[in-house]
C-alpha cells in the first residue's frame, strides 16, 4: 500500500513537472514571437526603438509573473557592492542573474541575461547567490571573445557571401543593435564587384528607421549604419 502511494505521488509530481515544462515552452515561444515582431516592426519603420525596449521589458515582467523565483534560487535582497561593467548581479524583475554591460547612467544600467539585453533601474539589482560578483578569470584566448559578446557588438562582415545571405546577416546585425541599445554599427562588404555594397546600401536607403552615416574614412569597402 505504501509503495502504491509513493508511485502515485511520483506520477503526480512528474505530471506536474511535465505540465509546467509545457507551459514554460509555450511562454518562451510566445515571447520570441512578440520580440521578433517588435524588432521587425522597428526595422520596417512601423515602431520606435522605445517600443522595442518596452516589448523586452513586457516579456521580462510576464516571465516573472508566470514563473517567479524565490530569493534562495538565485539571489538575495542585499544591494550589489559592484556596479561596474562585467559584474554579475541578480535582476529581480527577471528573477535571474545577469551581467552589467555598461556604466550606470541616470539611475539605470544596461544588463544582459543570456540572449536578453535590457535597461533596468539600479534598484532592480541585488547581490547574486554566493555573493561573488565577478566571474572566474577566463583564459586569454576566451577573454576577448567574452568581452565582445558582452558588448553586443553588431558589426558584421559579409565579404564572400551571396547578396541574399549578406542581407540576412545585415538584418540580424540590425536586430542585435536595437536590442543592445547601439545606435550605429558598420557593415564590412569589401570592394569586389560592388554587388554587396550596392545591395546593403539600397537596403539602408529604403529603410525609414536607419540611414547611412558618412565618415571621414571615405572607405568604400565599409558602410556605416545609424539607427534614427
What torsion, rounded to 10 degrees, do the Cα atoms 41, 47, 49, 54 define? -90
Lowest mean pLDDT among 63-72, 150-159, 160-169: 63-72
Cell 518562451 maps to which residue? 28
Q: Which residue has the higher pLDDT, 53 or 70?
A: 53
Which range scores top for mean pLDDT: 189-193, 195-199, 220-224? Answer: 195-199
> At residue 146, does pLDDT exceed 60?
no
Q: Which residue has the higher pLDDT, 18 or 78?
A: 78
Orientation of helix 49-66 relative to helix 2-43, angle to 10°? 170
Q: What is the pLDDT of residue 46?
A: 61
Which range scores top for mean pLDDT: 94-103, 106-115, 178-187, 194-203? Answer: 194-203
Provide the grid cell at 72: 534562495
Strands 156-157 and 184-188: parallel
Residue ranges of alpha helices (H) inside 70-213 are 71-74, 140-151, 163-180, 195-206
Provide the grid cell at 61: 515582467
The answer to pTM > 0.85 is no
Residue 112 contacts residue 174 (beta carbons within 8 Å): no
Residue 89 contacts residue 127 (beta carbons within 8 Å): yes
- Residue 206's pLDDT band, with cuts at 50, 70 and 90, is very high
Lowest mean pLDDT among 13-22, 89-98, 191-200: 13-22
> At residue 144, does pLDDT exceed 60?
no
Amino acid at each position: 500500500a505504501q509503495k502504491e502511494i509513493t508511485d502515485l505521488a511520483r506520477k503526480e509530481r512528474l505530471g506536474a513537472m511535465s505540465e509546467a515544462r509545457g507551459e514554460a515552452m509555450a511562454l518562451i515561444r510566445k515571447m520570441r514571437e512578440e520580440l521578433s515582431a517588435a524588432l521587425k516592426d522597428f526595422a520596417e519603420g512601423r515602431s520606435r526603438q522605445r517600443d522595442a525596449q518596452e516589448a523586452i521589458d513586457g516579456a521580462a515582467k510576464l516571465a516573472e509573473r508566470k514563473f517567479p523565483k524565490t530569493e534562495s534560487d538565485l539571489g538575495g535582497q542585499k544591494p550589489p557592492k559592484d556596479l561596474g561593467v562585467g559584474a554579475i548581479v541578480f535582476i529581480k524583475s527577471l528573477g535571474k542573474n545577469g551581467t552589467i554591460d555598461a556604466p550606470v547612467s541616470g539611475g539605470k544600467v544596461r544588463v544582459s541575461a543570456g540572449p536578453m539585453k535590457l535597461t533596468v533601474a539600479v534598484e532592480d539589482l541585488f547581490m547574486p547567490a554566493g555573493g561573488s560578483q565577478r566571474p572566474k578569470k577566463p583564459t586569454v584566448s576566451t577573454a576577448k571573445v567574452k568581452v565582445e559578446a558582452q558588448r553586443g557588438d553588431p558589426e558584421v562582415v559579409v565579404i564572400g557571401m551571396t547578396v541574399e545571405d549578406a542581407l540576412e546577416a545585415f538584418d540580424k546585425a540590425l536586430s542585435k543593435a536595437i536590442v543592445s541599445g547601439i545606435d550605429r554599427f558598420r557593415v564590412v562588404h569589401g570592394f569586389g564587384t560592388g554587388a554587396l555594397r550596392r545591395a546593403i546600401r539600397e537596403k539602408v536607403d529604403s529603410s525609414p528607421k536607419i540611414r547611412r552615416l558618412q565618415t571621414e574614412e571615405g572607405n568604400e569597402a565599409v558602410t556605416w549604419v545609424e539607427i534614427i
